[in-house]
Structure 1
Amino acid sequence: MQYSSMTRRGFITAATAAFSSTVLGAPAPLSTPLGVALRQEPLPFDFEALEPFMKASTLRRHYRETHAQYLRELELALQTEAMTVGNVVSLMPGMDRMIQPQKSDSLMPIGRLVSQGLSFQAPQTLSKESVQTIRRAGGGHINHTAFWRFLCPPDSGPSGPQGRAARAILEDFGSVKAFRQVFKETAMNHVGSGWAWLVYRPDGCLVTSTTMNEDNPLMKDHIPWHQSGKPLLALDLWEHSYYEQYGEDREQYIDAWWKVVNWEFVNRAYAIVTGKV
């Protein structure tokens, strides 16, 4: 099930530098366009730094085991297809139509292929299995990378959105308090595993939404159009992210998560996606 909450006035092309430097760009100067590399970024905080709101043992297992496993699966799928990628974000849109890398002999002129007794191979899309793995494991790697970037130790930064990000939230939701309530309701109404997002849509509206499993707003071919766009906030709704500490109490987990949201990065992401840096 996917749940989307529309605002009052309410990653199309994920390979672009504009999006790559937002939620999927590492905490770096605004002018530095970065995406998600085929590696895990070192966390900018110690596992214990988010206590008591997020348990260190949960974070350690989440980062070292869950996230790392998604990355290993993605690397294997890309190796199987003989693919190399600098920015994993570029795999998200149009993965079903992605073309397999061609063998070196298929790049030769047709006349030379015939003279050497070789056959011409028409371009082939990725196998169904590879697409499924890229969707699951690639999405998992991107989503977790975003999740870590939107976290920071409590009381280490702004307590809420500021500047233009704050004004946009006020315009679309009425108040920061109302936004938090809508986001929380969106996350609470999601059934099963998945993610909750604040998304900047191509039409300029901010919306809250959820995706199933490891899908994300970049996957425009796999999610409703009104949920696709550029993420400005990401919350992991899989039980592995909170069950050890909060059991089945997702609401308590969400309330605690607000205490460690990296609002400085939200502000930075909004400035970049709107081109106002």
Structure 2
Amino acid sequence: MTTTGANALSSGTESVGFVLSTGGLRPHLHVPRTGSAVHRLRGHGLDQDTPASAAAVASRGLSRRQALQTLLAAPLWTLLSRVHPPIVRAAAAAPASTQYQLPLPPLPYPYNALEPVIDAKTMHLHHDKHLAGYVTKLNAALDEQRLRNFPAILGQLSNIGDAKLRSTVRNQGGGVVNHVQFFESLRSPAAGSGADNRPSGALAQAIEQRFGSWPAFQEQFGSAAKSLFGSGWVWLYETRRGGLQSQLEVGAFPNQDSPLMNGDRPILGLDVWEHAYYLKYGPNRGEYVDAWWRVINWPAVQRVYESRK
């Protein structure tokens, strides 16, 4: 099944958009039919399997900057269609009147679902105020610039010439994708301790192979979360550098930065901004980190990891 999403870069009578299919989001060029107001969808060298030059795209009426953003963004769109399905589903279903607006994905469970680890008031504020705020500010910038493919340009920040827009996409856009994945990775507390709630299958094997053991991974991740200075995130992510085989890493990221900004694939993230835990734990971030292991939705995290292929 293939449906046309509302994400595109427009220029004159043509616009580069993205088609949501079973294989992910693919870029296509929307071209008006001669003598008719009806638009039809055609791929003009912009499919993921067919490379195209920036000059070729620019010849169709797009600026060089738009062409570069479109061409470089395609793989990241496919990645985000798997990592952030709520964003993709909402964007694909958005009416034409909101074509430049990214909808606020709903919280996938009741506010009190994570108690006693994370209280209902924190979840209400976290989703309805903090995430909603990131979405609102990002949408304002995207609407002003008439950009619809925000997740794509998130991974290509250096291509954004406007410093103000680049900062907005980094901070507000990072806040959107980080929080959506964070909320999707949580569920009601598992029985027993955090050490008992662990993944299985390919992800469990990859963690043990990379970090030596499950306790060693927990120690490294927990230590990074507890020692991060100021606000930010800690991520388990998959990286591939220099043609090497991909491997898992644990890293701390300041503010709303994401592994996506380095071309890496986020697998599991922990929000260590004070708004994520202060109402319940006060300044005791370590208690929050230790308790968080009980509410990880490992089946959901495993689906993210296994969808990488």
TM-score after normalising by structure 1: 0.74
For residues 183 and 35 of structure 1, what CA distance do their matches in structure 2 show? Answer: 31
Alpha-carbon distance change, 187 to 60 in structure 1, aligned in 2, over 3 angstroms? same
Partner of 1:94: 156
2:108 is the alignment partner of 1:47: no
- 2:85 alignment partner, SS class: coil
Shift in Å, 1:155: 2.9
Partner of 2:130: 66
Shift in Å, 1:82: 2.0
Shift in Å, 1:36: 8.0
- 1:135 alignment partner, SS class: helix
- 1:206 alignment partner, SS class: strand
2:79 is the alignment partner of 1:19: yes
Equivalent of 2:222 in 184, 196, 202: 184
* Consecutive unaligned residues in structure 2, runs of 5 or more: 1-71, 92-101
For residues 36 and 200 of structure 1, what CA distance do their matches in structure 2 show? Answer: 26
Partner of 2:283: 248
* Consecutive unaligned residues in structure 1, runs of 5 or more: 1-12, 28-33, 99-124, 221-227
- 2:261 alignment partner, SS class: coil
For residues 14 and 20 of structure 1, what CA distance do their matches in structure 2 show? Answer: 11
Partner of 2:269: 234
Equivalent of 1:137 in 147, 172, 180: 172
For residues 191 and 142 of structure 1, what CA distance do their matches in structure 2 show? Answer: 22
2:234 is the alignment partner of 1:170: no
Q: Tell whether the 8 Å contact from 2:73 to 2:156 is kept in structure 1 after alignment.
A: no
Q: Tell whether the 8 Å contact from 1:198 to 1:232 is kept in structure 2 after alignment.
A: yes
Partner of 1:195: 233
**Runs ≥4 residues deviating over 6 A:** none
Shift in Å, 1:128: 1.2
For residues 146 and 15 of structure 1, what CA distance do their matches in structure 2 show? Answer: 20
Aligned length: 219
Partner of 1:112: none
For residues 93 and 61 of structure 1, what CA distance do their matches in structure 2 show? Answer: 28
Alpha-carbon distance change, 15 to 139 in structure 1, aligned in 2, over 3 angstroms? farther
- 1:218 alignment partner, SS class: helix
Q: Which has the higher contact order (CA 8 A, sep 6+)?
A: 1
Q: Tell whether the 8 Å contact from 1:193 to 1:239 is kept in structure 2 after alignment.
A: yes
Shift in Å, 1:193: 0.4
Partner of 1:84: 148
Alpha-carbon distance change, 35 to 209 in structure 1, aligned in 2, over 3 angstroms? farther
The one-letter amino acid of 2:103's match is R
For residues 201 and 147 of structure 1, what CA distance do their matches in structure 2 show? Answer: 19
Q: Tell whether the 8 Å contact from 1:35 to 1:89 is kept in structure 2 after alignment.
A: no
For residues 89 and 180 of structure 2, what CA distance do their matches in structure 1 show? Answer: 10
Shift in Å, 1:18: 4.6
For residues 177 and 121 of structure 2, what CA distance do their matches in structure 1 show? Answer: 22
For residues 180 and 23 of structure 1, what CA distance do their matches in structure 2 show? Answer: 22
Q: Tell whether the 8 Å contact from 1:40 to 1:145 is kept in structure 2 after alignment.
A: no
Equivalent of 2:256 in 214, 239, 251: 214
The one-letter amino acid of 2:111's match is F
